[in-house]
Amino acid sequence: MASEKGVILLDFWVSPFGQRARIALAEKGVQYEYKEENLTEKSELLLKANPVHKKIPVLIHDGKPVCESLIIVQYIDEVWSDKAPLMPSDPYQRAQARFWADFVDKKVYDCGSRLWKLKGEEQQAAKKEMIEILQLLEAQLGDKKYFGGDSFGFVDVAFVPFTSWFYSYETCANFSVEGVAPKIVQWAKRCMERESVAQTLSDPKKVYEFVCFLKKKFGVE
Amino acid sequence: MAESDLKLLGMWASPFVIRVRMMLEEKGLSYEYIEQDVFNKSELLLKHNPIYQKVPVLIHGARDICESLVILEYIDENWSWIGPPVLPATPYKRAIAHFWAAYIEDKLMLSFVGILRAPTEEVKAEKIAETHTILEMLEGAFKKCSMGKGFFGGDSIGYLDVILGSYLTWINAAERISGAKLLDETKMPLLVEWEKRFLAADCAKKSLPSVDQLEKHARNLQVTRWKVDSAN
């Protein structure tokens, strides 16, 4: 990659991981070039920028690639530190933010995928797990405006893209997120009042169409 | 908060715990170490890590910090005035360090434990080859991060040094048990040199168990938990 000045984001439209990066860039008011990747035919640029994993998102800043969505968000927060800080300044608060963002990373996508990939007892087990995950996150949120407290922060960025997948989770596994974690649903609505989130998140119906496409592709009834 | 307020819930053979001990040693922080039976979890562990119920847990006064990588950064930031910083100084170098930490965490332990759990010689050979590939990748990472100096952190021991370093005794034990050379000077010469340097450091000497101890522990796991024929 030439050391061209500027910011490029290699991404895929519905990826919640890519959306984390987009939300962070929007919060900071950073101008960047968005490049949509065809994941069945990855570009030379992607393969060069992320040779280890060959995955999106990749942020390329002045020719230097940064990979892994939460690493990208932290990078964006540190480089464009003059505006909308996403991480708190206190070391213990920072540790809490990292812990909960990591919890979202470890749990939500995997469990969510099992909700639409599996059937019968296995799906029921995944549903039970997802409800536990949502309720743990709700307990962590409590009565705060955001996970970050009064300000929209790192954990909010980490989790909010998955809210547009709630409709798919609910439809595939037959439950209601609002029924099990109403504060999370309220939090999601507050986040959608932010331009960075509203302009980034996919329409839940479009996400569901995508999930149906994946189901056909993987031969899931 | 007095340092006597520092407690670490750990398990002697866990690399996740070992790296926290290394970091506390590097920072010269004193703490109370409380060994846990991870197969028979104590009330203390369940109280201080209700989400995962795992070690390590750093208890700092009324604060509980869980997940080894989160603990490492907490120690570095909370006692930032002590010693050289353990994480790199620039956002880009920190992103690179975090990237390789995630890579090591995702792949390395699974791979060398895979050697120990292999039910057949074929699977064992596969896992050995996999471990070599991962270590060769890390050889490249070392070249990039160290910039010609002795450690991933440069002149001093850093984040990636303690993370990879915490696995060294396990890797040595896996070499003994499998008969295969994993850290091979013909394939990853820089890492082999780094290993010698790292093992000579105080934090390594004080935190890593002996290879004898760990070999015994791993062989025991093979028989009791992994049901592997110890003739492998």
Q: pLDDT digit string (tens) for A32-89?
A: 999 999 999 999 999 999 999 999 999 999 999 999 999 999 999 999 999 999 999 9
A198 touches chain B (CB under 8 A): no
Domain end residue (candidates: B78, B112, B145): B78
pLDDT tens sequence across B158-211:
999 999 999 999 999 999 999 999 999 999 999 999 999 999 999 999 999 999
Task: State the average pLDDT for chain A.
Answer: 96
Residue B4 has a pLDDT of 64
Contact call for residues B74 and A101 (beta carbons, < 8 A): no
Residues of B in contact with A102 (CB under 8 A): 67, 69-70
Place of tokens 């070599």: B132
Q: Which residues of chain A from 108 to 167 reach within 8 Å of chain B, CB to CB?
A: 136
As a whole-number percent, the residues of chain B with pLDDT over 90 amount to 94
Distance, in angstroms, between A99 CA and closest chain B CA? 6
Residue B190 lies in a domain: yes
Residue A36: what pLDDT? Answer: 98
What lies within 8 Å, CB to CB, of B85 at 6+ separation is B76
Contact A99 B98 (CB under 8 A): no
pLDDT category, B232, cuts 50, 70, 90? very low
**H/E segment holding residue A35:** strand A33-36
Q: Which domain holds residue B60?
A: 3-78
Q: Where in chain A is the domain with CATH 3.40.30.10?
A: 7-79
Q: What is the percentage of chain A residues whose pLDDT exceeds 70?
A: 98
Burial label, A189 (beta-carbon count in 10 A; 0-12, 13-18, 19+): exposed
Q: What is the mean pLDDT of residues A146-152?
A: 97
- Residue A79 at interface with chain B, using a CB cutoff of 8 Å: yes
- Contact of A74 with chain B, judged by CB distance below 8 Å, is answered with yes
Q: At which residue do the structure tokens 């203390």 appear?
A: B44
Same domain flag for B67 and B101: no
Domain termination residue (choose one: B78, B101, B116):
B78
Q: What confidence tens digit (pLDDT) does each residue in B43-70 have?
A: 999 999 999 999 999 999 999 999 999 9
Q: Provide the pLDDT for residue B231.
A: 54
- Closest by Cβ to B74, choosing from A71, A78, A91: A91
Does domain A91-217 bear CATH number 3.40.50.10140?
no
Interface contact flag, A71 B63, Cβ < 8 Å: no
pLDDT at A160: 98
Q: Which of residues 29-58 of B touch A (CB under 8 A)?
A: 51
Is the domain of B55 the same as that of B96? no
**Do B102 and B53 belong to one domain?**
no
Q: In CATH, what number does A7-79 get? A: 3.40.30.10
**Residue B85: inside a domain, yes or no?**
no
Q: Please report residues of A whose CB lies closer than 8 A to that of B95.
A: 66, 71-72, 74-75
Within-domain flag for B83: no
Q: Does residue A219 carry a pLDDT above 90?
A: no
Query: How far apart are the C-alpha atoms of B139 and B144, rounded to whole Å?
Result: 9
B56 and B133 in a common domain: no
User: Residue B86: inside a domain, yes or no?
Assistant: no
Is this prediction's pTM over 0.90?
A: yes
Q: What is the ipTM of this complex?
A: 0.95
First to last CA, chain B: 51
**Quick one: pLDDT band at residue A218, thresholds 50, 70, 90?**
confident
B67 — contact with chain A (CB < 8 Å)? yes
CA dihedral angle for residue B181, residue B185, residue B187, residue B192, rounded to 10 degrees? 90
Q: Domain holding B26: CATH number?
A: 3.40.30.10
What is the location of CATH 1.20.1050.10 in chain A?
A: 91-217
Q: From B78, B109, B139, give the residue that closes a domain.
A: B78
What is the per-residue pLDDT for B228? 84
- The shortest C-alpha distance from A116 to chain B (Å) reads 25
Identify which has the larger pLDDT, A3 or B140.
B140
Residue range B84-101: mean pLDDT, rounded: 96
Exposed, middle or buried by CB within 10 Å (0-12, 13-18, 19+), for A203?
A: exposed
Domain count, chain B: 2
Amino acid identity of A63? G
Percent of chain B residues topping a pLDDT of 70: 97
Domain identity same for B190 and B216: yes
Mean pLDDT of the residues in chain B? 95
Provide, rounded to the nearest whole percent, the portion of chain A with pLDDT above 90: 96
Which pLDDT tens digit goes with each residue over A162-210? 999 999 999 999 999 999 999 999 999 999 999 999 999 999 999 999 9
